[in-house]
Amino acid sequence: MSARLLAYAVLAIVLAFLIGPFLVIVAAGLSAGESLAFPPQGLSLRWVAKVLSIESFRSSFALSMGLAVFGTLAALALGIPVAYALSRYRLPFAESIRTIVSAPIIVPGIIVGLALLRHFVVPLDIDVTLALYAAHTALVLPYAVRVVGASLENLRGDFEEAAVLLGASRLGAFVRVVLPNIRSGVLAAFVLGFVTSFNQVPVSLFLSGPGVRTLPIDMISYLENTYDPSVAALAALLALLSVAIVYLAERFLGFYRHV
Amino acid sequence: MFSSRSEGLALALPGALFAALVFLLPVGLLLAEGFRSESGWTIGAYVDFFESARNRTIFWRTLRLGALVTLAAAIIGYAAAFAIVSLGESARGRLVGLVILPLMISPVARTYAWIVILGRTGIVNRALEAIGLTDEPVRFLFTETAVFIGLLQLFLPLMILSLVSALENLPRDAIPAARVLGASWWQVFARVVLPLTREGLVIGGTLVFTGALTAFITPAILGGSKVLMLETLLYQRVTVANDFASASVIAMILIVMSFSANLLLRRLAAARRGARTGTIKARTLAAGTTR
């Protein structure tokens, strides 16, 4: 019994360290007082309201949402065929292909951003927004391949062979047999990609221009010049958004099973 | 398994080409820049970089912080993983979920929480003043300590996750058997648990170490320009001095470290397929951790 107690004590300390800071920032953001402090001086939503009224956050939120949704969809469109080919075909250069599509997560984001700026945006005179979309798609591609690939590995290959033998086309077999079976893996890849892209800072650091800024970058510059509870309110809103997405995904998809 | 090679290639090609074009090519060109000068190919930029005492300080600080964070994560990780595994099957999933949660939260939010806690008027300073340990606020922000704490919080989950899956595979009666045979708890750990979970430790350690080396936001916000690490130095060299030669050198250092770590992980995963699920999970999440 005392071993159990010790286990609880250890976990309480570790979880306090891992999760406690978020509780602190949520509380500080709900403060009614004038200064950033914990415990908060009274409760109110005034700082949340202030954050929501800031104009520039709306456009940067829209950009970050667009990047997260369309970048991830593009990555899935490119990545699902790659995962399928890697798992169901005897491919020449299979290992090289695997390495190429997973490279974007091995290289630190800040290097990717700088490389794209120096050798893509500037010399070819490409729009920064387009470069951002390309970068976020490349960044999410490895998850699409890896998470969908894991689902495909768990699905027996003879299902679609049977479908083909029974007269379905290869594409028909994929759409009607494979896809329904790996659906939750695909959704999990989408959620992971969405959260990753939405929270991404280093890649976007160098890829911003007049009026083009992702939300986290916009937040960092706001936070640098402000020291009142709105900072905490902002951070809390962002943290809650990620937690809500992951919670829903876990609740309805069993998200963690797939990642 | 379908036999048509060209069909498979046609499926894989768009994704691979895309990654090669918008990713490998620009990064390759950036790395090549570090070897170019007006008179041709040279390693001058590398010599210049390491001749600067300041750069060397930052290089060693990055390695030192990475090592310290890894060590601390290993110690705390074993304690936490033991606790999680000992509480049984049903609690395990939920606890692992809680441990992973911070990985999914915006890094900006995560780092600012530490400012509220460690700042001049933060909880820690107020507590210290309340119990009379200090009269004036202790400086935590923009010190190595703050960066260490931030990095540890960020990467500890990866270590716990790797060790939980390693401990799950530990034969159930290994520990009682060693105890019955008269081993002390320390001997049980050093001679039974450690050798049997070494692989999980190496996997977790590699993820934590490379993660800490290549983190950007934590050192940028909690360390500022006072406690530069390689990533923040890269950013500073580019934005302050337009010094692309140094940036290219730093990029090379980080990529080499990151790739060798990844290679090591692949070897380990290939060597023992039994421990794969935990490995893949930790690796996928490690990659998803926005640093």
Q: What is the CA A210 to chain-centroid distance, rounded?
A: 25
Regions of chain B with pLDDT less than 50: 274-276
Type of residue found at B280: I
What ipTM is given for this predicted complex? 0.87
Per DSSP, what are the bridge partners of residue A209?
A212
Selecting from A25, A97, A147 the residue whose C-beta is nearest the C-beta of B113 gives A25
Using alpha carbons, list the distances in angstroms from residue B4 to A55, A97, A177, A221: 55, 17, 20, 53
Chain A CB contacts of B258 below 8 Å: 106-108
Residue at A181 is within a domain: yes
- Give the residue numbers spanning the domain of A119: 55-258
Q: What is the pLDDT of residue B287?
A: 58
How far B10 CA sits from the closest chain A CA (Å)?
9
Q: B5, B7, B13, B22: best mutation site toward chain A, by most A Cβ within 10 Å?
A: B22
Residue at B226 is within a domain: yes
DSSP helix, strand, coil percent of chain A (3-state; round to 5): 80, 0, 20
| pTM across the whole model | 0.89
Residue at B18 is within a domain: no
Q: What's the CATH code of the domain at A235?
A: 1.10.3720.10
Residue at B94 is within a domain: yes
Residue at A78 is within a domain: yes
Q: Looking at the 3D structure of chain B, how many domains does it have?
A: 1
Cβ contact, residue pair A14, B251, below 8 Å = no
Q: A100, A133, A224: best mutation site toward chain B, by most B Cβ within 10 Å?
A: A100
- Give the residue numbers spanning the domain of B133: 52-288
Selecting from A19, A192, A231 the residue whose C-beta is nearest the C-beta of B98 gives A19
Tell me which residue of A183, A187, A188 sits closest to A155, measured CA to CA: A183
**CA dihedral (B8, B10, B13, B14) positive or negative:** negative
Q: Looking at the 3D structure of chain A, how many domains does it have?
A: 1
Residue at A29 is within a domain: no
Residue at A127 is within a domain: yes
Residue at A198 is within a domain: yes
**Torsion angle of C-alpha atoms B79, B84, B87, B89, degrees rounded to 10:** -150
Cβ contact, residue pair B83, A170, below 8 Å = no
Q: What is the pLDDT of residue B279?
A: 53
Cβ contact, residue pair A81, B15, below 8 Å = yes
Regions of chain A with pLDDT less than 50: none
Residue at B41 is within a domain: no
Residue at B12 is within a domain: no
- Reported as a single tens digit per residue, the pLDDT across A132-157 is 999 999 999 998 998 999 889 888 88
Residue at A35 is within a domain: no
Q: What's the CATH code of the domain at B215?
A: 1.10.3720.10
Q: What is the pLDDT of residue B276?
A: 47
- Reported as a single tens digit per residue, the pLDDT across A48-86 is 888 888 888 888 999 999 999 999 999 999 999 999 999
Per DSSP, what are the bridge partners of residue A31?
A43
Q: What is the pLDDT of residue B14?
A: 94
